[in-house]
Amino acid sequence: MDLMHHSSTFLLPTIPLHHGPSLTYALVVLNQTLPRFAPLLWKHAQLRLCADGGANRVFDEMPLLFPQEDASDVRRRYKPDVIKGDMDSIRKEVLDFYRSLGTEIIDKSHDQDTTDLHKCITYIRDFAPDVNKSSQLCILVAGALGGRYDHEMGNLNVLYCFSALRIVLLSDDSLIYLLPRTHHHEIHIQTSVEGPHCGLIPIGVPSRSSTTTGLRWNLNNTEMRFGGLISSSNIVVGEKVTVQSDTDLLWTISIKKL
């Protein structure tokens, strides 16, 4: 079984060239409060999308992260490449502003069977020829956690809908991504910006056998299921965690407030 490497180097000001595989980043901004590190994610990304009302957040909140600068200058600097969704949340003045700057607007109001995040992931996967669509693509999703619980669960569902893609859900406090059962996993912990609190969660089906290293309470061919044991409130104890499981698991780790 192949080994899959993971690292949250996108939370660092500069991504070390020697640390794991070189990834191409895309950013999706959802309609939740921007994390304080949103400009950093924006800098690392080669493609930036707003999911419908996420454009309101960029328009309203990016200038707040640069209080010494003129708001108009900040808004022009942080212009999304694409706004896509069912267009039920974006304000008209925001839509008109970004359209005037050349942002591509994709109205999918006829599609009510998928979430706006799902629509944006589909765009990145299918219609972004300049983005590397191999295993080295990593999609960062800002504002994916917190807020309405049904939205949050919809975002988690997207991880399973696109399990072949690297997708990281982010909030100000934590991140989540999927560890597919098709691989063994090696997670390189960026101790300056994340941890120590973490968890491994089976959703959908139980795990009959999961094994880890690098945690305070490691699993050893352990069964996990809802209604029984799940590895919540665990602690990373080093700079590397390994995970092997017979089912897909969600990995989550806290993000430090620096």
Q: Which two tokens stand for residue 238?
A: 């080093």
Q: Which two tokens stand for residue 24?
A: 């191409």
Would you say the pTM of this structure is higher than 0.85?
A: yes
Q: What's the rounded Cα separation, in Å, for the pair 179 and 255?
A: 19
Query: E strands within 12-72?
Result: 24-29, 45-51
Structural domain spans, the chain: 23-172, 173-257
Residue with tokens 């969704």: 85
Residue with tokens 């996967």: 125
Interval 129-183: pLDDT, tens: 555 555 689 999 999 998 889 989 999 999 999 999 999 999 999 999 999 999 9
pLDDT over threshold 70, residue 111: no
Query: Residue 57 is inside which H or E element, if any?
Result: helix 54-61
- Which bin fits 102, alpha (ψ -120 to 50), beta or left (φ > 0)? left
Classify the C-alpha dihedral 247-155-214-233 as positive or negative.
negative
Q: What's the rounded Cα separation, in Å, for the pair 7 and 20?
A: 8
At 183 the pLDDT is 94
From 54, 75, 184, select the one nearest 119 (Cα to Cα).
54
pLDDT over threshold 80, residue 22: no
**Confidence at 23, pLDDT banded by 50, 70, 90:** confident
The third-level CATH classification (topology) of the domain covering 23-172 is Rossmann fold (3.40.50)
Rounded to 10 degrees, the C-alpha dihedral 107/110/115/120 comes to -30
Q: Which two tokens stand for residue 114?
A: 């998928």
At 138 the pLDDT is 94
DSSP 256: -
Helix 149-161 / helix 116-126 crossing angle, nearest 10 deg: 30
Which residues make Cβ contacts (< 8 Å) with residue 129, sequence separation at least 6?
none
The rounded radius of gyration (Å) of the Cα atoms in the chain is 18
Write the CATH number of the domain with boundaries 173-257.
2.60.120.320
